[in-house]
Amino acid sequence: MKNVYFVGSGKLTFELIEKIINENLKLELAPEAKFRIERCREYLDQKIEESDKPLYGITTGFGSLCNRNISLDELSTLQENLVKSHACSVGDELQPVIIKLMMLLKAHALSLGHSGVQVITVQRIIDFFNNDVMPIVYDRGSLGASGDLAPLANLFLPLIGVGDVYYKGQKREAMSVLDEFGWEPVKLKSKEGLALLNGTQFMSANGVFALLKAFRLSKKADLIAALSLEAFDGRLDPFMDCIHQVRPHKGQITTAENFRKLLEGSELIVREKAHVQDPYSFRCIPQVHGATKDAINYVASVLLTEINSVTDNPTIFPDEDLIISGGNFHGQPLAISYDFLAIALAELGNISERRVAQLIMGLRGLPEFLCANPGLNSGFMIPQYTAASMVNQNKMYCFATSSDSIVSSNGQEDHVSMGANSAVKLFKIMNNLDHIFAIELMNAAQGIDFRRPARTSSLLERFLNEYRKEVPFVKDDIVMYKEIHKTVAFLNRTKFDY
């Protein structure tokens, strides 16, 4: 079926996830996944019945309470209490796309058959996804070890008929929506609360969404920088392939290739130059943008492994007759990667602001502050201030949250990743990048207009023509924040195919 994705039928990819979300595909549990889930649950039930040894989180309490044994008739209550007591996420509500990604990723992880859940539990997650029943989850509260306990608890409260959801644009009590669909609250069996709450799906969902945007931001950065290079009357030499082949970092080679494509056929780039070299913010674009591309691709590889993994605890291996209490919920691989990505993305803004500054200095025949009528007008003086402010803020967000750890659970959980905070701060950096890139585009377009009648490449001319339909050349001072906002909107809806 074209409009259905079968959960557990194969590995998730970023392209597949984007298709599921953007094309609003419905989810269905694959038959092989259902078999794996049932088999694992049957094994666990049998193990509990036969074993006289305590099983962490199954017949014991949690965290530092792992030495407290729980009677068999209270195992279901234990799991429900876990979900209720751990629902402590606070802050800003997550946007619906992140909620849907969390449900998709959790359903996929549980479908791998090592978590001991019931089929109905996974099916209800899929039902929520398919019917746009959106549990209300907040963006703060996870330490990124023992999984994303607090936000995942908020996410799955509605499965047991507790908590709040958004449905058809209204905030409602979960139980009323379950009644509307004729769904009974899921009666959690042993281990199921842990299976739902242990796991890295909050970190992973935020990371997937951020990474998909990071790919787009990287392309956007190249195109806008190419326009700035033209406006600055820059040289093509630093983008020639031979210089990158003798230092063959993949991202560097790709960036230079992108620029040669973007600038092909340009009158401006091939005309004779009075200067023999450009400032680093132009000359070193392949090296800087390229390093960011390599970082994005590295983070993508880590995240791809993560979203196709089992990250709850304990982990059940029916074939090996093993139930192992381990640490796959620990978010350190993601935390370090996200901090790396934060630095890499922030650098795109850092070098972009420097190009903005070069364009307003009155160099290479451009008027100071790109003023058509200088003196009476300030022109593009202050947008650079705004860009610099956001660059500074991004540097603050580059603090490595993964370098911190605060002991929890009375010393039992004595090292945590803080990966959830690493994930959430990426959105703040990228929001700033949207605005920094918009300011660079405004400056670059203004600068190119001062180069007329000379023309850039046909590809860039088409882009500029579309942009100028919405944001005109600035002849006399106007209210600039409106133009920045219009430029952000233009960039966010424009595809960057080259």
| Same domain (yes/no): 112, 219 | no
218 within domain boundaries: yes
Classify residue 450: in a domain, yes or no.
Answer: yes
Residue 456 lies in a domain: yes
The answer as to whether 394 is a domain residue is: yes
Shared-domain flag, residues 190 and 279: no
- Which listed residue (56, 167, 338, 467) is catalytic? 56
Which tens digits make up the pLDDT trace of 201-211?
999 999 999 99
Give pairs for 375-382: CB < 8 Å, separation 24+. 376/476, 376/477, 377/476, 377/477, 378/477, 379/474, 379/477, 380/442, 380/443, 380/446, 380/474, 382/480
pLDDT tens digits along 167-210: 999 999 999 999 999 999 999 999 999 999 999 999 999 999 99
* Mean pLDDT score across all residues of the chain: 94
What is the longest distance spanned by two Cα atoms in the chain? 88
Same-domain status, 185 and 267: no
Whether 221 and 90 share a structural domain? no
Q: Does residue 132 sit in the same domain as residue 224?
A: no
- Residue 498 belongs to some domain of the structure: no
Residues 113 and 214 in one domain: no
Q: Show which of 180, 199, 218 is a domain's final residue.
A: 199
* Structure confidence by residue, pLDDT tens digits, 323-373: 999 999 999 999 999 999 999 999 999 999 999 999 999 999 999 999 998
Task: State percent of the chain over pLDDT 70.
Answer: 98
Q: Do residues 185 and 276 both lie within one domain?
A: no
Gap between the Cα atoms of 348 and 329, Å rounded: 32
Same domain, 252 and 366: yes
- CATH number for the domain spanning 457: value is 1.20.200.10
Low-confidence ranges of the chain (pLDDT < 70): 1, 56-57, 61-68, 70
- Is 400 among the domain residues? yes
Q: Are residues 99 and 29 in the same domain?
A: yes
Q: Which domain holds residue 166?
A: 4-199
Which H or E element spans position 290? helix 285-307
266 belongs to a structural domain: yes
The beta strand positions in 114-216, using DSSP E, are 134-135, 138-140, 164-167, 170-173
This prediction has a pTM of 0.94
**Is residue 360 in some structural domain?**
yes
Residue 167 annotated to the active site: no
Instruction: Please indicate, yes or no, whether residues 218 and 143 belong to a single structural domain of this protein.
Output: no
Q: How many domains would you assign to the chain?
A: 2
- Choose one of 150, 165, 199: the last residue of a domain: 199
* 247, 371: one domain: yes
Of 153, 183, 199, the one marking the end of a domain is 199
Please report the pLDDT score of residue 1 as a whole number. 63
Which CATH number fits the domain that encloses residue 103?
1.10.275.10
Same domain flag for 186 and 212 = no
